Amino acid sequence: MPYTTSLKLGNEHQEIINILDFYTSEIKFLEKLLAELLEKNSNYEVKVEGEHFQNQFIIQQKNIDELKSKILINKHEAALEAKVHAGKIDERLVVDIKQVSRDTNQIEKTVEEIRQEFKRFVAKWL
């Protein structure tokens, strides 16, 4: 089994968690705006489109929560590996966190697309 130094992961765990926390805050903010818009507008079309956004926010938050869980597992496994192997960790853990990083990038793109679509929705109904 190939090993690398634990420094290879560096601050990557925390950086990704910070990004995911930002998008959690962003989703909460958008949810609040949506609730305000739905409260002020009882149009059927607004309700239907609003439900679409509610679903998107739920899905993206679920994706964020899953990635956070993967990060915490990876971080825990890396700490155990570093203890057992004098600061060295299995390269598989580095590969795993790189995949989480790619998945995080995809969430960033998706939330940005949803945000832009939501801005158009809000502009249409305000």
Q: How does pLDDT run across 77-111, given as a tens digit for each residue?
A: 888 888 888 777 888 888 888 999 999 999 999 99
pLDDT tier at 62 (50, 70, 90 boundaries)? very high
Dump pLDDT digits (tens) for 8-28. Answer: 676 788 899 999 999 999 999
Q: Which of 21, 11, 23, 4 is nearest to 75 (CA)?
A: 11
Return all residues near 34 (Cβ < 8 A) that are at least 6 apart: 50, 53, 54, 57, 118
Please state the separation of Cα 108 from the chain's center in Å. 7
Please state the separation of Cα 46 from the chain's center in Å. 27
Give mean pLDDT, residues 51-73.
97
Structure tokens at 62: 């679920």
Looking at the chain, list the stretches that DSSP marks H as alpha helix, in order from N- to C-terminal side.
Answer: 12-40, 44-84, 91-125
Q: Which of 28, 29, 23, 48 is nearest to 38 (CA)?
A: 48
Q: Which of 5, 3, 4, 8 is nearest to 101 (CA)?
A: 8
pLDDT confidence of residue 70 = 94
Q: Model's pTM, two decimal places?
A: 0.89
pLDDT tier at 7 (50, 70, 90 boundaries)? low
Look at residue 44 and tell me whether its pLDDT is greater than 90. Answer: yes
Ordered domains of the chain (ranges, CATH): 3-125 (1.20.140)
